[in-house]
Amino acid sequence: MAADSEPESEVFEITDFTTASEWERFISKVEEVLNDWKLIGNSLGKPLEKGIFTSGAWEEKSDEISFADFKFSVTHHYLVQDSADKEGKDEVLEDVIPQSMQDLLCMNNDFPPRAHCLVRWYGLREFVVIAPAANHDAVLSESKCNLLLSSVSIALGNTGCQVPLFVQIHHKWRRMYVGECQGHGVRTDFEMVHLRKVPNQYTHLSGLLDIFKSKIGCPLTPLPPVSIAIRFTYVLQDWQQYFWPQQPPDIDALVGGEVGGLEFGKLPFGACEDPISELHLATTWPHLTEGIIVDNDVYSDLDPIQAPHWSVRVRKADNPQCLLGDFVTEFFKICRRKESTDEILGRSTFEEEGREIADITHALSKLTEPAPVPIHKLSVSNMVHTAKKKIRKHRGVEESPLNNDVLNTILLFLFPDAASEKPLDGSSSTDSNNPLSESEEYNLYNQFKSAPSDSLTYKLALCLCMINFYHGGLKGVAHLWQEFVLEMRFRWENNFLIPGLTSGPPDLRCCLLHQKLQMLNCCIERKKARDEGRKTNTSEIYPGDTGKAGDQLGPDNLKDMDKEKGEVGKSWDSWSDSEEEFFECLSDTEELKGNGQESGKKGGPKEVASLKPEGRLHQHGKLTLLHNGEPLYIPVTQEPAPMTEDLLEEQSEVLAKLGTSAEGAHLRARMQSACLLSDMESFKAANPGCFLEDFVRWYSPRDYIEEEVVDEKGNMVLKGELSARMKIPSNMWVEAWETAKPIPARRQRRLFDDTREAEKVLHYLAVQKPADLARHLLPCVIHAAVLKVKEEENLENISSVKKIIKQIITHSSKVLHFPNPEDKKLEEIIHQITNVEAIIARARSLKAKFGTEKCEQEEEKEDLERFVSCLLEQPEVLVVGAGRGHAGKIIHKLFVNAQRLTESSDEAAAVAPPEEELKRMGSPEERRHNSVSDFPPPAGRELILRTTVPRPAPYSRALPQRMYSVLTKEDFRLAGAFSSDTTFF
């Protein structure tokens, strides 16, 4: 039984050969991709124009396929060209060789400066590459390479695709490709050799010709002529004869007084190292034949001076260190710091011992002592400020991050009014005659949300930037900011206006810090005006005589007073009666009860007969009160409270939280009508016996509608009435009018409490960390950097830089308008500014090396400047006249100097000017003799050999053959394209 069961236990396997293998699936996928991209058939394009590989647009398509579990990426590279005639495309001529084979012989685009390596090696306008998808994957074994090549060959044969198909083998850094192109009865094999060490026999033309001929294996005895194109590249690295023109900033002058504090308002510019590291000279012989030239291991006719074509490219230093870029970058780094000012300086104001604490208690005790000083100077904050000064006085000099010279220079730069004995009260307004005021550069702050370029905030940003870079870093920034805040408090308490700020309410187009300083200035203006008024009229003004005082001091007198005080731009109605203060005591308002308040509500003419008009500014044209015919007077009113954007935001949040209920809406309207109520009270005081209609005619004329009607006697008369919205029962205007009492502006509660707002601003400034400060001022620093770049670009006039600067301004205006811009976007802006700085530095470096300023002839100077600008913008520039042109001679001098410095041990010879060196080579024979030492050995040798011969048999079709060779110090590569006839062989 066991013996019988043995055959049954064997497994019988049947191999189904109709099922596709992994290899067949791979070939099918390749064919599918070629079909999807419509690369089937012969499509002949236009002949290639000269330079099209560099100037034209290249595009690529990619797809992914896999061989078993190994993934490959398939990429189609092609030059975008106008489509050829459709008729020619439809007709597929069997005797026409594929487009790529024709391109092998095209000489218009040899050695393109910027192209895919296969384009440079084979001159192709279109090709497909199959490469391992992952960077770390590689096809290393020979069997796998052959398998892939077979797959390519079968796919091309099955589809009829005439576009070359390459496979990348070995590691990617080696750039090794093998490929194939098939046409009707023809095939081209693309082969490659890549070696580290070069065999000696292949370092010259004769040895490479031997390889080419042996590879072709042409059976014809008189071999058709081989066309040769040669390019030698020489590298110049030694610029010792030409110093880098960038001057380092004179740091001593910043403090020493030679340049003065104005140096703090300037940003540095330029690269600290030469941004041009190398100059590459390519000498090209584009059309040579085998018999014309000799180049072997003994002798060479290839003299670079005699080369018909010279082209130059410059290699730029990678990320050169640029002063402006470093300045802005270092300042931006502060934004990421978390420490507070006290933590950075390592002390707190009141942590001192001994005399310092005694000083504070002593200072506070002065409040009880009699002192012949104005009342407004006796405040707790002033005493604390004085105590701080004493603390600072007792601190050791070495503890201060900024020395006194630097600090004083900066403070004088920021506050120029402190230099004079009597501070200029009117210095708050910027120079209105500034020619830049209306210019595009000046108004950049609107786009950047920074601050005007002549403002205190802008100067502060530049000073902090310089302190951070040169004088003490973060500690220096914290120290200067502490001093700045103390100065702000000193000015508030002593009624000194802050210089470098435009008068008026905060400008919401500027950064928040600038708005805060403007708000503080508004507070100082109000406080100063109030104190001035108190001094002038202390003895004259009493609660009962206010109307008289107001009448005696008319608007003209007050305007004159304002001018004497030096307040630029101040007008009569800018902050109500300047000589009178606002009474906030309850007893003052109680006095008005018997003065006809109840009558004011009704507005009847009889009840208000005893009221005297108060707080009149001037008569309103010919308008009269509707009920008693008295002239209508415009009252002196309180100005609305100035607001910074954060206060506006807070206010809007509070109003939004009130909700949409009727009660919330009513409360919201009441909160928003404080200014309206104040104006109504002022109007009632100035116009006794007035009605709401009179107020509306002045305050909101469009809400008083007048119509012509016929009266009882038949005459046409004007009859007016309130608008529909004013007639709504219990609307806010009617309620406010009924609530309003006839109180002149000088007796009302202040709409703007300057004391409270100033303390809020000072507290806000005091609690700012250096990181917060840097965030506030970064738009100003970027603004300053853009202005500096524009200024420097105007000197050089580089068209490409102008476009980049416009892009930077557009990008910055979008980013900086957001409250908290992302760090990444800010870094992008700073990087763009640094790039522009590097481009301008490169332009200056090249101009210095080519001596554009030394040219005596205007025509030569223009040619050189054009040549230099092309070097900056183009990957490679043709030298007009090659070695005999003006630019060519200068390049020759540069190489001669470098060679003399390298070869000569005599220092005197090394310093000799290049003109003398060239004089020694006056005649062509002498130059020919000395040219060996004029140039170093070529850093790269490139050759292209072409011919058309029948392969593989004498009776085969004559087809293009091409071999490219490149030889450098550490690399040798041969890239061959050898065509053969597959019909007659």
**Sequential DSSP letters for 918-930:** HHTT-SHHHHHHH
Task: Lowest mean pLDDT of 42-46, 138-142, 328-332, 870-874, name the range.
Answer: 42-46
User: Is pLDDT above 80 for 569?
Assistant: no
Highest mean pLDDT among 192-206, 241-255, 580-594, 640-654: 192-206
CA separation (Å) from 441 to 263, 452, 503, 844?
20, 10, 21, 24
- What was the pLDDT predicted at 135? 85
- What was the pLDDT predicted at 582? 45
CA separation (Å) from 757 to 492, 672, 760, 869?
11, 19, 5, 56
User: Is pLDDT above 80 for 339?
Assistant: yes
Contact 124, 975 (CB under 8 A): no
User: Is pLDDT above 80 for 141?
Assistant: yes
Handedness of CA 138, 143, 149, 152 (dihedral sign): negative
Which has the closest alpha carbon to 633: 650, 645, 618, 622?
618
Q: Which residue has the tokens 């601050």?
A: 451
User: Is pLDDT above 80 for 560?
Assistant: no
The residue ranking higher by pLDDT, 184 or 10, is 184
Across all residues in the chain, what is the average pLDDT?
Answer: 76
Averaged over 915-944, what is the pLDDT?
A: 63
- What was the pLDDT predicted at 921? 47
User: Is pLDDT above 80 for 657?
Assistant: no
- Name the band, by pLDDT with cuts 50, 70 and 90, for residue 124: very high
Q: What is the CA radius of gyration of the chain?
A: 44
Averaged over 220-241, what is the pLDDT?
A: 83
- Name the band, by pLDDT with cuts 50, 70 and 90, for residue 555: very low
Q: How far is CA 597 from the centre of its chain?
A: 62
Averaged over 461-479, what is the pLDDT?
A: 87
Tokens coding 477: 């920034």
User: Is pLDDT above 90 for 664?
Assistant: no
pLDDT digits (tens, 9 = 90+) for 360-375: 444 444 444 444 434 3
Which has the closest alpha carbon to 746: 573, 611, 578?
578
Contact 136, 11 (CB under 8 A): no
The residue ranking higher by pLDDT, 538 or 740, is 740
User: Is pLDDT above 90 for 907?
Assistant: no
- Name the band, by pLDDT with cuts 50, 70 and 90, for residue 708: confident
- What was the pLDDT predicted at 672? 65
Which has the closest alpha carbon to 482: 140, 707, 770, 230?
770
- What was the pLDDT predicted at 422? 47
- What was the pLDDT predicted at 8? 52
- What was the pLDDT predicted at 859? 80
- What was the pLDDT predicted at 535? 67
Give me the torsion for CA of 582, 588, 589, 593, rounded to 10°: -150
The residue ranking higher by pLDDT, 66 or 395, is 66
Tokens coding 319: 């990320």
CA separation (Å) from 71 to 29, 95, 133?
12, 38, 6
CA angle at 825 for the pair 824 and 828, rounded to the nearest 5°: 90
Tokens coding 785: 């950097």
User: Is pLDDT above 60 for 651?
Assistant: yes
- What was the pLDDT predicted at 18? 67
Q: From CA 232, how far away is CA 411, in angstroms rounded?
A: 61
- Name the band, by pLDDT with cuts 50, 70 and 90, for residue 352: very low
- What was the pLDDT predicted at 83? 61
The residue ranking higher by pLDDT, 537 or 191, is 191
For residues 362-388, b (16+ Cβ closer than 10 Å) or e, as one string?
A: ebeeeeeeeeeeeebeeeeebbbbbbb
Averaged over 81-98, what is the pLDDT?
A: 59
User: Is pLDDT above 90 for 945?
Assistant: yes
User: Is pLDDT above 50 for 416?
Assistant: yes
Burial group, residue 336, by CB count within 10 angstroms (0-12, 13-18, 19+): exposed
CA angle at 839 for the pair 837 and 842, rounded to the nearest 5°: 110
Averaged over 901-925, what is the pLDDT?
A: 50
> Is the peptide bond between 952 and the residue preceding it cis, with omega within 30 degrees of 0?
yes
User: Is pLDDT above 90 for 147?
Assistant: yes
pLDDT digits (tens, 9 = 90+) for 590-637: 344 334 333 334 444 444 445 778 788 888 787 888 877 788 888 888
Tokens coding 487: 């100065």
User: Is pLDDT above 70 for 675?
Assistant: yes
Q: Helix, strand or coil for residue 294? A: coil
pLDDT digits (tens, 9 = 90+) for 829-873: 999 999 999 989 888 888 888 887 777 777 888 888 888 888 888
- What was the pLDDT predicted at 603? 44
pLDDT digits (tens, 9 = 90+) for 784-830: 999 999 888 888 888 888 888 899 888 888 888 877 888 888 999 99
Which spans in 494-567 are helix H?
512-537, 546-552, 555-565
Averaged over 663-688, what is the pLDDT?
A: 78
Whether pTM exceeds 0.75: no
Percent of the chain with pLDDT over 70: 73
Handedness of CA 565, 571, 577, 582 (dihedral sign): negative
Contact 279, 427 (CB under 8 A): no
Residues 6+ apart with CB under 8 A from 10: none
CA separation (Å) from 731 to 186, 626, 720, 738, 739?
95, 22, 20, 11, 12
- What was the pLDDT predicted at 15? 64
How does strand 186-195 pair with strand 176-183?
Answer: antiparallel
The residue ranking higher by pLDDT, 240 or 930, is 240
Highest mean pLDDT among 419-423, 641-645, 743-747, 759-763: 759-763
**Sequential DSSP letters for 72-91:** EEEEEEEE------HHHHH-
Task: Lowest mean pLDDT of 38-42, 725-729, 896-900, name the range.
Answer: 725-729
Q: Helix, strand or coil for residue 675? A: helix
Q: Which residue has the tokens 């042109």?
A: 885
- What was the pLDDT predicted at 36? 92
Contact 190, 977 (CB under 8 A): yes
Q: Helix, strand or coil for residue 410? A: helix
Q: How many CB atoms lie within 10 A of CB 725?
A: 10
